[in-house]
Amino acid sequence: MLDVQLRAQTSYTPERQRRSEGDERRVGHERTQRRQHAHFCTDFRPLQSRTDAVRSEAEQPVRSVLSFQKNLHSSHYSRNHTHATHHTLDQEYIGQAKCLLRKVGSWSFDIFLFDRLSNGKSLVDLTLHLFIDYGLIKLFRLDLLKLRQFLVMVHEAYRRQNPYHNALHAADVTQAMYCYMQEPQLSESLTSCDILLGLLAAATHDLDHPGVNQTFLIKTNHYLASLYQNASVLENHHWKCAVSLLRESGLLSHFPSEDRQNLEERLGSLILATDISRQNEYLSQFRAHLDRADLHLNNSQNRHFILQMALKCADICNPCRPWHISKLWSHKVTDEFFSQGDSEKRQNLDVSILCDRNANTVAKIQIGFISFVVEPLFLEWARFSDTPLSQIMLGHMTSNKYKWTHLPQEDLRENHKQHSGSSQRPNAVGFYS
Ligand SMILES: [Zn+2]
């Protein structure tokens, strides 16, 4: 296990940038000296992103992957446009997607818009951008082609027919995870290995989600339920899928097997923490730590626990987003619940709680979800990370709950209708007008 001490630069001051450049050189030197095992893992000190040097390097591969997509999807658009027109429009979209990526650390980042601009490949483009931005490719000597292939495989392993648990949700969680990892306490203490794991876990945490919950799998005797003995069935499956894709892509094949195994286990521990049925267990631990004020992030176990809590927050942060984004997610998740309820009715099974479209409304589900699940978690997160972002999230959550409680149902339905057909690409010309 190596002990490469990368000191962090936590802002953009020239001094910190110089330090970063020094670090880069030092890492290069150490790599030369330890060519056999020049990577990994848990003892890396923080790696920070966003030096100008890293940023300028980052632009080229992003341009490359976007132009790859342009070629991949161009036939679809050529039916109705001349070649010149669609080329111009695609260039316009690529430019706008790149422009939007500059705001990837903003809490009001519109993942729906970014997904349309990136031809439905937001998970691939956004995660790749963050890997480059953090310098993870260089640091862990990742093969860019393998990384891109891995991310495409991850994207394709999400089921696009799911209204909610699809690649767009994974992209949204990855963007939220990035925002949390940029918070001062985390950015000053997370190691490069923590960051790598945080991004991988966010991108893969719902892989191959079937669009139904664990209760449904158990009562329909699904093989996954018996495989995982009715415990964290979905989360275990997501984790195993993630490991399978990591191995198949060969992304980490150059790591020593001990490090690879360690990473796979930590990845599992993060993904398993997203099991909502274990919410109280994690929340009680979090509260106890905060009461004792003993979450010192120079301790690797504490950092891992905070990554688990950050991923849990990222996974259920929809009600903490601005209303126009939050309500879209609310309708999507309700569509998925009701679809499961319809399936249960067709099979003469008891309809799961929240899944009966005749007994629930989007508003009713959201109010309950915010009150009993989201609010308790984010109040504790704000105790841990008392920052402007935490206050913004709590502000949106309160305001969104108020709207679900007080807006007339007719207005809410109208909102849903207005946004349900928004999967087409926007008009490139009018975008920023
Ligand atoms: Zn999720």
Per residue in 373-422, pLDDT (tens digit) is 999 999 999 999 999 999 999 999 999 999 999 987 655 554 455 444 43
Catalytic choice (165, 238, 289, 331): 165
Range of the domain at 163: 53-208+236-313
pTM attached to this predicted model: 0.79
Q: Are residues 160 and 295 in the same domain?
A: yes
pLDDT the model gives residue 351: 96
Q: What angle do CA 310, 314, 317 make, to 5 degrees?
A: 130
Is residue 7 a part of any domain in this protein? no
Q: For residue 17, is it within any domain?
A: no
Distance 169 CA to ligand 1 centre (A): 7
- Residue 357, both tokens: 């479209």
DSSP state of 432: T
214 vs 79: CA distance, rounded Å: 43
Per DSSP, the three-state class of 109 is coil
Q: Are residues 356 and 305 in the same domain?
A: no
Cis peptide before 41 (omega within 30 of 0): yes
- Give how many domains the chain has, as a whole number: 2
Is 242 inside any structural domain? yes
| Rounded percentage of the chain residues whose pLDDT exceeds 70 | 73
- 254 catalytic? Reply is no
CATH, residue 192: 1.10.1300.10
- Do both 66 and 148 map to the same domain? yes
Asked if residue 229 is part of any domain, the answer here is no
108 C-alpha to ligand 1 centroid (Å): 19
pLDDT of res. 376: 98
* Ligand 1 centroid from CA 320, angstroms: 15
Domain limit, last residue, from 271, 295, 313: 313
Q: Are residues 110 and 125 in the same domain?
A: yes
- Please report whether residue 25 resides in a domain: no
Mark whether 249 and 360 lie in a shared domain.
Answer: no
175 CA distance to ligand 1 middle (Å): 13
Q: Which residue has the higher pLDDT, 76 or 348?
A: 348
In the prediction, which pLDDT does 87 show? 56
Question: For residue 10, which phi and psi values (nearest 5 degrees)?
Answer: -100, 0
Same domain, 176 and 267: yes
Q: Does 45 fall in a domain?
A: no
Residues annotated in the binding site, as ranges? 165-169, 205-206, 315, 366
Q: What is the mean pLDDT of residues 136-161?
A: 98
What whole-number distance in Å separates Cα of residue 136 and Cα of residue 133?
8
**Are residue 350 and residue 251 in the same domain, yes or no?**
no
Which of 313, 331, 364 is the last residue in one of the domains? 313
pLDDT at 282: 98
Residues 289 and 356 placed together within one structural domain of the fold:
no
- Tell me: do 287 and 413 sit in the same domain: no
Task: Choose one of 288, 313, 338: the last residue of a domain.
Answer: 313
Q: pLDDT at position 95, please?
A: 83
Inside any domain, residue 394:
yes
For residues 83-100, one letter each, b for 16 or more C-beta atoms within 10 angstroms of the residue's C-beta and e for the rest, the string is: eeebeebbeebbebbbeb
